[in-house]
Amino acid sequence: MEALFYVFSFIAIFSALMVVTMRNPLTSALYLVLCFFALAGFYVLLDMQFLAVMQILVYAGAIMVLVVLVIMLLNISKIKSVKTDLHQKIIGIAISLVLLVEIIFYIAYGTTKKPTGIFTHSVIDKIGNTRVVGEFLFTKYMLSFEIASILLFVAIIGAYLFAKKKF
Amino acid sequence: MNNYLIVAGIIFCIGALGVLMRKNLIIVFMSLELMFNAANLGFVAVSDRLNLISGDIFVIFVMVVAAAEAAVALGIIVAFYREKGTIDIDKANELKN
């Protein structure tokens, strides 16, 4: 388990860096798929197999296919690539380093609460992972579920309006 | 749990770096997806530590929002390309003058 964690975190961080630094958008899209697979591995290690499957289906499947399709439609290789100027690079690296130091400081010196819930690994395994998630989704979080469906409907209309010839 | 949170923090910062540094609209969008995923990993790690299930449910809703956002954002990118003939983010400057 411990070794797998380090393997997955190496793959995730390496491919995330590649996404940001690669020149060709298609290469970064493929590295992003790799990063999503590593994150799905993390979810399996954390005993959430349902989320791992959703991660691969929704992110690595649906969203990335959409991105690759748009890259194909826009014919990116014909567009001349734009160079990032130096001061923008320096500012970006500085801000994200400060953010990283802040996050690590907060994690290292913060206190964590005692476990309060009842859903330990053995309980979840006994009921079944998908069943636990589904029961919560259709009882306690029913209203949010319905609102999410309305949001998806609005997104369909929005995407149609933006992709139309004239608006 | 702390290890997972640190990995999530590193991925989040790499995503922020991409948003701040790159000028290609599609790569900026992909960096945003990276930041979403780092936040998701944080949710799952914390709810695993506290023996709760709410964090995992929240991750599903984040995925729903990310899918909707992807559809609308790619629509905007296509419209932007049709208008300007490029996806350089610096060309989106009509509010400037």
Q: Does residue A156 sit within a domain?
A: yes
| A:B CB pairs within 8 Å | 213
- CA-based nearest distance A150→chain B, Å: 11
pLDDT in tens, B31-87: 999 999 999 999 999 998 888 888 899 999 999 999 999 999 998 888 888 888 888
Give CA–CA dist B51/B44, Å, rounded. Answer: 10
Beta strands, E only, chain A = none
Is the CB of residue B73 less than 8 Å away from at least one CB of chain A? no
- Give the CA distances from residue B68 to residues A52, A102, A143, A148, B71, in Å, rounded to whole numbers and listed in that order: 20, 31, 18, 10, 5
pLDDT in tens, A93-127: 999 999 999 999 988 888 877 888 788 888 888 88
Q: What is the mean pLDDT of residues A48-74?
A: 90
The architecture of the domain spanning B2-91 is Orthogonal Bundle (1.10)
User: What are the φ/ψ torsions at residue B92 (nearest 5 degrees)?
Assistant: -90, 70
Q: Are residues A17 and A61 in the same domain?
A: yes
| Structure tokens belonging to residue B43 | 């949710």
Q: Does residue A93 sit within a domain?
A: no
* Number of domains comprising chain A: 2
Average of per-residue pLDDT values in chain A: 87
pLDDT reported for residue A159: 86
Name the range with the highest mean pLDDT among A80-84, A95-99, A160-164. Answer: A95-99
Q: Does residue A75 sit within a domain?
A: yes
> Under a CB-based contact definition with an 8 Å cutoff, are residues B30 and B19 in contact?
no
ipTM score: 0.92
Q: What is the mean pLDDT of residues A45-50?
A: 89
Task: Select from B17, B51, B76 the Cβ nearest to the Cβ of A119.
Answer: B51
Model confidence at A129, pLDDT cuts 50, 70, 90, reads: confident
CATH of the domain at A70: 1.20.120.1200
Q: Does residue A142 sit within a domain?
A: yes
- CA-based nearest distance A1→chain B, Å: 13
Domain that holds residue A161: 115-167
pLDDT reported for residue A52: 93
Type of residue numbered A102: E
Task: Select from B10, B44, B75 the Cβ nearest to the Cβ of A158.
Answer: B75
Q: Does residue A97 sit within a domain?
A: no
Residue A167: pLDDT over 70: no
Q: Are residues A76 and A119 in the same domain?
A: no
Is the CB of residue B45 less than 8 Å away from at least one CB of chain A? yes
Task: Select from B12, B44, B72 the Cβ nearest to the Cβ of A159.
Answer: B72
Say yes or no for a CB contact (<8 Å) between B48 and A51: no
Give CA–CA dist A47/A25, Å, rounded. Answer: 33
Q: Which residue has the tokens 């296509």?
A: B78
Q: Does residue A95 sit within a domain?
A: no
User: Which residues are registered as beta bridge partners of B24?
Assistant: B88
Assign B88 to helix, strand or coil: strand
